[in-house]
Amino acid sequence: MTTTASDEAIWLFGYGSLIYKVDFPYLERRRARLRGWARRFWQGSHDHRGTPEAPGRVVTLVADPDAVCIGMAYRVTPAVFAHLDHREKNGYARIAADFRFDDDSEVRGLVYVAAPGNEAYLGPADEAAIARHIAGARGPSGENRDYLLALAAALRELGSDDAHVFGIERALHRIGDDATV
Ligand code: SIN
């Protein structure tokens, strides 16, 4: 029997920048939902949206039995993980997860999660504090606020009603409004 790269393809669930910054080849992509995990701006970023001295804030997943995280799943060949592991190297590890597509079919795939205790982990803060932090951070990949705004726009397009992300986005806009009065 011969195998092809596509036979070995793996589904990857993206819930943060992997939704809107697709700088990797994929065979197929589908909206998906991951039960039992909540998206949270609790991970520090030393290499993309901040620096080791002044980290930015980006999303990770936090276990929550009541949560459903909407994201985008990509079917990729194993070779793609060389690039993605480098891109997600600041505290994220790939873990296996089962997620569902809109037609309710389920697949086992992978997801990058930055667990508490990793070198860049920041943990919880209230929405206003997270927004202030994001408003002041930038790194080699650009302004931290652009990460938040691009993610919020992508989630709106996916039809995800993510109270945490949209609450921080509103708080960021309030900071902008206050600064102009
Ligand atoms: C992801 O998007 O799935 C991981 C977190 C990120 O790169 O923003």
Res 6: pLDDT: 56
- Domain membership flag for residue 4: no
> Helix (H) and strand (E) counts for the chain?
5, 7
Instruction: Work out the pLDDT band at 176, boundaries 50, 70, 90.
Output: confident
Q: Are 130 and 167 a contacting pair, CB within 8 Å?
A: no
Longest Cα–Cα distance of the chain, Å, equals: 69
What is the tally of structural domains in the chain?
Answer: 1
Instruction: Flag whether pLDDT at 30 surpasses 70.
Output: yes
pTM as predicted: 0.94
Average pLDDT, the chain: 94
Name the percent of the chain lying above pLDDT 90: 92
Pair 166, 40: CB distance under 8 Å: no
42 in Cβ contact with 62 (< 8 Å):
yes
Share of the chain above pLDDT 70, in %: 93
Output the pLDDT for position 180: 53
The verdict on residue 106 lying in a domain is: yes
16-26: average pLDDT:
98
Q: Which positions are catalytic?
A: 88
**177 CA from centroid of ligand 1 (Å):** 28
Specify the ligand 1 atom closest to the Cα of 147. Answer: 8
| Any atom of ligand 1 within 6 Å of the Cβ of 134 | no
- Whichever domain contains 147, its CATH number is 3.10.490.10
Q: Is residue 160 part of a domain?
A: yes
In a domain, 156, yes or no: yes
* Atom nearest to 111 CA in ligand 1: 3
Question: CA separation (Å) from 109 to 1, 71, 99, 106?
Answer: 24, 13, 7, 10
pLDDT of residue 2: 47
The domain of 95 spans 10-180
For residue 181, pLDDT over 60 is answered with no
Smallest CA separation from ligand 1 atom 7, residue:
17
In a domain? residue 165:
yes
Sign of torsion over alpha carbons 11, 12, 18, 22: negative
pLDDT by residue (tens digit) across 55-94? 999 999 999 999 999 999 999 999 999 999 999 999 999 9
* CA of 17 relative to ligand 1 center, distance in Å: 5
Domain annotation covers residue 120: yes
pLDDT digits 0-9 by tens, 96-143: 999 999 999 999 999 999 999 999 999 999 999 999 999 999 999 999
Do the domain assignments include residue 1?
no
Domain presence at residue 3: no
**Residue 20, ligand 1, Cβ within 6 A:** no
- Among 18, 29, 39, residue to substitute to test ligand 1 (most atoms within 8 Å of Cβ): 18
Atom 1, ligand 1: which residue's CA is nearest?
A: 16
